[in-house]
Every structure is written in C-alpha cells, then in structure tokens.
C-alpha cells in the first residue's frame, strides 16, 4: 500500500474509528468534536496571563485517559483534544501580550514589542486580527510541510545538523536576541547572562548541587514556571501598579486604553502582511523540524529577520520601525511561533524528540495509549498490507488540518471575546492576574517555596524594567540553558573530548561567525 492509501485510511480512522457523538441531532465524529473543544480551551487558556497550553495539557491528559482509557480507539480523541489546546493556546497567547504587555505563553514574548504599542494607540482589535491571521497562516504553511515532508525532512535535518551544529545554533539564537532586543547590546548580554546564571543553579548534568552556597532549598534549582511567570507576569503586574501610582499622582485618575479609529484588517493589508508572514512561517517550519530546539527560537529569528528588513526600508521614520507598534512586527512573530506546531511533529513522530513543551505531552499521550510508538518505523512501508502506525500518524495530520480550519472559521471570534478584557479596570484585572498566576504555579508544583521563588523573580523583573534591562533575553536564555548544556556536553563527548567542537565543521564555523557578527554589528550601530 502506498502513501495515498495510508492517507485515506487515516482520514477514515478520524471519521469512523472512534464513534460518533450526537450534537443537536447531528452525528459528529468524536475526534473532530474533541479538536473543537480543545481549540476553544486552548484559546481561552492562552489568553489568560499565568496559564499556558502545556499547563492545560498536563491537567487534561490524565483526565482524558481516565475517560477514554488506553485502547487504540482512544488515541485520536485524546490526541485531538491535546492538539486543539496546543494550536489554540499558541494563537490565544497573543491576546494578553497585545492587551496588557503580558504574554500568555513564552512563544508570544516578542508579540508584546509591537502588539502592546498598538493597544496604546487604540488599535488593540486590529492587532488581534493581525495576530490571528498571521498565526493561522503560519500554522497552515507548517501543516502543509508536515503532510508532504514528514517522512523525509527529519532525516535530511539530522544528516546536516549534528550535535556541535545544534549547540552553535542555540548560541546564535542567544546572540540574536541579545543584539536585537538589547538597547544597547550590553544590556541584552547582561539579561542573557542572568538567565544563564539562574538556570544553572541547582543540580546539573553531573547530578550534584552547584552554585547553591549550601542552601538546601536551591539544590533543586528554580522551576522554569516560577522564573518565566515571575519575570514576565508578576514583574509586569508590579510595574503596572507602579505606573498606576504615577498616573494617579500626575493625572488624579487612572488612564484607560480605548479603542480608537479603524481597527479593521482589509484584504489589501493582509496581502502586504504576507511578505512578512511567509518568510517567518518558513523559519518557524525549519526550526520546528529541528529536534529539541522549540518555538522560542523560531519567534526570535522570525522577528529579528523581519525587523532588519523592515527597518532598512524606514531608516528615518521612527513611527514605522519595529517596536513602535507596527502590524508587521506582530505578524512576523505570530507566524513564526505558530509554524512550529506542525513541523514539530516531524521529529516527534520520526525520532520521539519534542521541540517544545507542548510536544512533550503529545509524546506522553502516545506512550500511554496504544496505537503509535514514535520512532523511525512510523513511516516505513510494510511488505504487505498497511502500517497501522502510519495510519494513526495521518489521522493526526487530519486532526491538525481540522484544527486549522476551525481556527480560520471561529478562532478570531473567541480571541475578540477574550479581548474584551481590555475594558476591565486595572484595579480589578491586576489582582486577578496576580491571583491566577500564583494559583497556577502552586497547582502545578503544590509547594509554597515555588510561590516564594515566583514573587522573588517578579521583584527581579520589576527591577530589570526600572533599569531598562530587557526581560526577553533573560527568559529565552533561561529556557535554552538546559538544551544548550545537554547538547554541548553530548557534542563534547561525541567529538572525543575536543574543546574546539564548536568549530568542528564548516556549518559550526558559519554559525559561530554569525554570532560574533551580530554582536559586533549591533554594538557599533547607534541606538535609536
């Protein structure tokens, strides 16, 4: 049986393999209903600061397995709900990033750079339209590549990028974000250094405490949720409270952002945005196919690439530069981070290696439920008959396509509904965000120490904002420290203990030279 036969069998498995649920007298296949419910849940969760798709997937997975069981018939409904959450949370994460300068997910960090300035200009709903259009467009491009190139792209990527190249690529991404966001570059490097430092505290790869000063509470390191949500969300809440105090002193009242002017997104503007969406989608798709790297790097490279090209076209117009509230900045970021979700299933299915946190729970679901074992055998053709694992894989691809169609049809309406949070007074919203964030961290870890770390990182984020040290390089460095250390150690061992492993191939040399060039170029470039 050929590829087309497996595609049709996968489609049939979605429609007829898991039963039908009557909704308003209409029979709907259970996997399709679960994708819809997961998508709506994901958008809502992503839109609430302090919550995130992986957290919702972590809560949902044991509940789903307890309901549907471990049989093969449960595979597509459970995975369909998780895929819906993954895609919905990626799109929904733009809502708080745009409205409150607080990204709902780490992937939406760079969306704040232009999304929130658009809100301050009264263009909040236009920014949401741009984010939705770009997110779904990038996701669709990625899913098309997944359909066509899943059996081949992962093998090709693995043949060109070995461990030293992956370590060099992560270093390049850190230099990129330090240079692009840091103004001047030195402050970006300080933020990266702080992220690397705090992420290395605790038990390292050698399984003994380091940099703890004999403090027992530090032996386990800082939970990633505490560091990220503390600096991003709690730090932003403290900053907003500080700004509210200034508003009351200066104006005698709180200043509220209002919707002003035309917030529509006509077809002509969508066509113009495609010049930013398609390159970012290509970057996100490529990064998604790389095992173990993830969507944060995709958003960084997508935004920085578009920024260089766009700012070169407007060298003297500060109002049209990235960071001042231009739709192109939102489009480039959302297209890049959304394009990761489809391509990320390439290393997941072919190698069992996730590229982001959401994919980890997809692998856990696959390991728990009969039907598919992520490995190179997924895309092998048997001597006779069909490969049941390939059938399930194409069933997943069908569910991802359905999630995109549903997102095109109704995702914007859900995002706009959540966007009405802009009308909530700050004195009500900020304490609610603070409570949700603390509750989310405590539920995830059930440890009061985690709440203490969360507040301390929030204070640190507040101080960094006062000192105009960018938060984004700190967060990305904290996230990438673990993959960087593991990859560097493995590369060091694989090259026989060569201390120059980062220069062991032409690709490594190019990536390291690119890192140096980015830092030198932006350090010499006058800050605007």
The rounded distance, in Å, linking the Cα atoms of 505 and 298 is: 23
Q: Is-contact 345 396, C-beta < 8 A?
A: yes
Asked if pLDDT for residue 260 goes beyond 60, the answer is no
- What would the two tokens of residue 284 be? 């996100």
- pLDDT tier at 343, thresholds 50, 70, 90: confident
Asked if pLDDT for residue 256 goes beyond 60, the answer is no
- pLDDT tier at 193, thresholds 50, 70, 90: very high
Task: Output the pTM of the full model.
Answer: 0.68
Report which listed range, 108-112, 403-407, 445-449, is most confident.
Answer: 403-407
Asked if pLDDT for residue 473 goes beyond 70, the answer is yes
- pLDDT tier at 457, thresholds 50, 70, 90: very high
Asked if the bond preceding 184 is cis, omega within 30° of 0, the reply is yes
Q: Region 473-497: what's the mean pLDDT?
A: 84
The rounded distance, in Å, linking the Cα atoms of 229 and 214 is: 26
5 vs 333, more confident? 333
pLDDT at 63: 80
Where do the structural domains in the chain lie, given as residue ranges?
Answer: 3-524
**Per-residue pLDDT tens digits for 420-432:** 666 667 677 778 7
**Per-residue pLDDT tens digits for 44-62:** 887 776 566 776 776 777 7
Asked if pLDDT for residue 480 goes beyond 80, the answer is no
pLDDT at 37: 92
CA-based nearest residue to 306, from 339, 279, 335, 269: 279
The rounded distance, in Å, linking the Cα atoms of 143 and 343 is: 7
Asked if pLDDT for residue 159 goes beyond 70, the answer is no
**Per-residue pLDDT tens digits for 175-185:** 877 886 666 88
């Amino acid at each position: 049986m050929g590829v087309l036969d497996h595609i049709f069998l996968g489609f049939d498995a979605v429609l007829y393999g898991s039963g039908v649920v009557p909704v308003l007298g209409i029979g709907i296949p259970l996997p399709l209903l679960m994708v819809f419910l997961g998508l709506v849940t994901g958008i809502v969760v992503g839109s609430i600061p302090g919550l995130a798709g992986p957290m919702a997937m972590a809560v949902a997975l044991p509940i789903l397995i307890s309901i549907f069981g471990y049989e093969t018939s449960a595979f597509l409904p459970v995975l369909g709900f998780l895929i819906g959450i993954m895609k919905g949370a990626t799109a929904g994460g733009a809502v708080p990033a745009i409205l409150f300068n607080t990204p709902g997910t780490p992937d939406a960090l760079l969306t704040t750079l232009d999304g929130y300035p658009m809100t301050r200009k009264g263009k909040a709903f236009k920014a949401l339209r741009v984010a939705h259009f770009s997110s779904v467009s990038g996701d669709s491009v990625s899913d098309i590549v997944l359909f066509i190139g899943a059996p081949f792209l992962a093998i090709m990527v693995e043949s060109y990028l070995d461990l030293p190249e992956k370590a060099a690529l992560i270093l390049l991404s850190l230099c990129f974000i330090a240079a692009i966001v840091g103004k001047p570059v030195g402050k970006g490097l300080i933020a990266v250094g702080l992220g690397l430092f705090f992420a290395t505290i605790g038990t390292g790869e050698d399984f003994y405490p380091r940099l703890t000063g004999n403090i027992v509470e530090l032996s386990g390191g800082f939970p990633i949720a505490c560091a990220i949500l503390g600096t991003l969300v709690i730090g932003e809440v403290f900053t907003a409270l500080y700004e509210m105090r200034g508003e009351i002193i200066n104006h005698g009242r709180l200043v509220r952002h209002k919707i002003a002017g035309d917030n529509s997104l006509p077809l002509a503007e969508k066509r113009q945005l495609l010049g930013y969406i398609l390159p970012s989608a290509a970057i996100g798709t490529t990064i998604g196919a790389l095992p173990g790297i993830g969507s944060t790097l995709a958003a960084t490279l997508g935004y920085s690439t578009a920024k260089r090209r766009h700012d070169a076209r407007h060298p003297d117009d500060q109002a049209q530069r990235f960071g001042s509230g231009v739709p192109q900045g939102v489009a480039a970021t959302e297209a890049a981070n959304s394009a990761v979700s489809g391509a990320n299933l390439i290393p997941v299915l072919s190698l069992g290696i996730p590229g982001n946190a959401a994919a980890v729970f997809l692998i856990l679901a696959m390991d728990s439920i009969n039907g598919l074992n992520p490995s190179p055998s997924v895309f092998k053709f048997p001597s006779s008959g069909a490969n049941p694992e390939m059938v399930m894989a194409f069933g997943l691809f069908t569910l991802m396509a359905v999630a995109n169609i549903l997102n095109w049809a109704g995702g914007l309406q859900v995002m706009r509904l959540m966007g009405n949070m802009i009308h909530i007074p700050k004195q009500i919203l900020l304490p609610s965000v603070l409570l949700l964030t603390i509750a989310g961290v405590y539920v995830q870890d059930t440890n009061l120490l985690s709440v203490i770390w969360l507040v301390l990182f929030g204070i640190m984020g507040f101080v960094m904002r006062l000192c105009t040290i960018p938060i984004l390089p700190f967060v990305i460095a904290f996230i990438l420290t673990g993959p960087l250390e593991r990859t560097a150690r493995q590369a060091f061992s694989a090259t026989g203990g060569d201390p120059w492993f980062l220069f062991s191939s032409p690709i490594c040399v190019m990536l390291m030279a690119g890192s140096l060039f980015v830092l030198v170029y932006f350090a010499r470039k006058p800050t605007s």
